[in-house]
């Protein structure tokens, strides 16, 4: 594929992320949890900043295993805050641990994270038909509802803008521009 959405940079990692992951519907609980945590790390930064550090996040945060993360103690937090491989923001580091605890609380209620998170789009991707980058919103009523529910469930760094970026990333909305070849491919890649 030669064309990409207009927002794609020339960085090969960014292109690979766009072509292989962004906008493809994801239904795996753990992958959805990991991406929610990673989107929260982006707050105030570019996605490329997080994308370049993604392997380190997986390494340092127990591959986003909620059980392991929920057990992280103050000593582990302090060690993370000295590691230059991640964004060393105390609130963001603590948010990942808190999100793991909130995730586990949902599990204890026999709630599938995938089913719970996909309820905000009635279980099916919303297929948008944006012509240009300026058409794409930064939030929607569905993202606002998701943000409110996540906060109520105890999750952190889940504002409406973060939630919409998350929805785009995990394919809950297909926001590939209409002239991007991946628009139609993601439309048909339901798991």
Q: Supply the residues annotated as catalytic.
A: 17, 39, 47
155: Cα separation from own chain's centroid:
13
CA distance 185 to 158: 28
Residue given tokens 């919409």 in the structure block: 164
CA distance 116 to 90: 28
Of 34, 90, 85, give the one whose Cα is nearest residue 56. 85
- Furthest-apart CA pair in the chain: how many Å? 49
């Amino acid at each position: 594929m030669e064309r990409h959405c207009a927002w794609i940079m020339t960085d090969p990692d960014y292109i690979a992320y766009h072509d292989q992951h962004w906008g493809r519907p994801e239904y795996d609980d753990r992958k959805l949890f990991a991406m929610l945590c990673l989107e929260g790390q982006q707050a105030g930064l570019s996605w490329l900043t997080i994308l370049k550090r993604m392997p380190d996040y997986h390494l340092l945060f127990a591959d986003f295993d909620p059980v392991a993360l929920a057990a992280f103690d103050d000593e582990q937090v302090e060690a993370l805050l000295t590691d230059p491989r991640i964004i060393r923001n105390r609130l963001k580091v603590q948010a990942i641990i808190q999100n793991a605890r909130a995730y586990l609380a949902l599990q204890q209620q026999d709630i599938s994270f995938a089913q719970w998170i996909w309820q905000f789009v009635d279980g099916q991707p919303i297929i948008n038909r944006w012509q240009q980058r300026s058409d794409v919103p930064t939030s929607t009523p569905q993202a606002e509802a998701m943000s409110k529910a996540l906060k109520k469930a105890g999750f952190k760094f889940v504002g409406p803008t973060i939630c919409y970026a998350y929805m785009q990333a995990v394919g809950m909305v297909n926001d590939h521009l209409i002239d991007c070849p991946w628009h139609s491919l993601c439309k048909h890649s339901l798991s």
